Amino acid sequence: MQSRLIIVRYAPWLFWAGFLSMAIFRVFLMVERKIAFWRLMGCGKNGTFDIVPDIRQWAVLIITDPTTLSIENCIPSFLTSWWKFFGCERYDIFLQPLEGHGTWNGKAVFGKYPPEGADYTGRIAVLTRATIRLSQLKAFWKNVQPVAATMVSTPGFITSVGIGEIPWIKQATFSVWESKEHMKQFAYRMHSHQQVIKKTRQEKWYSEDMFVRFAIISTTGTLQGIDPINPSANK
């Protein structure tokens, strides 16, 4: 299944159009038959799990139906026209799922992972998503934010964006790394991160979680003036 993450930024005085789009876009996405799964999401300020939203920046995740040959032409034209009308900066990331586990609203939305996914050695993107139990919100935000802040200084880290369906409750981080090994250095060998992972299991912070790795097929556009995944495109 092909996947596409679209991130758009509005001018400061047009932030209200981002809020409005979250209500209007769902009508057009629901009737697009080429799309198997979609989510409209807000973004965090600092590129990870973030308690402070960025009201100028919004995201759309689209996963195509398995019979769709190209993800290029499955975006409802209304969405594209809306972004152009409001002069949004737009950044598209085209992705191929490699491996992962977990569900999104009870569904394995990325389908079956290719058998060669575990052997992939190039740059990877990682989606880490969780639905946080209301009783564990305080514990989650107390422990996760300090660890997330250290990610940007980890060797092999390229960029990340915090996304979520419901502020503070349904949260995700989309991060990009030079390789799976670099990502593992952060995820499994950093003591503070290991401690948080241990607590999530012991204290049952999540009612649902998902972890997926992707190959990055291509990118188009910019985010805050640059292509953060392909620095050579900024020259």
Domain boundaries, the chain: 3-234
Q: H or E element: which one contains 55?
A: strand 53-64
Task: Please indicate, yes or no, whether the overall pTM of this predicted structure exceeds 0.85.
Answer: yes
CATH number among 3.30.70.100, 3.40.50.450, 3.40.50.360, 3.30.450.40, domain 3-234 = 3.30.70.100
Q: Report d(CA 88, CA 161) in Å as an integer.
A: 17
Which residues lie below 8 Å from residue 129, measured CB to CB, with a gap of 6+? Answer: 102, 104, 170, 171, 172, 209, 210, 211
pLDDT less than 70: residues of the chain: 48-50, 66-72, 116, 145-146, 148-149, 189-194, 232-235
Check residue 60 and give its pLDDT: 96
Q: Please tell me the predicted confidence (pLDDT) of residue 79.
A: 96
Structure tokens at 219: 């990118």
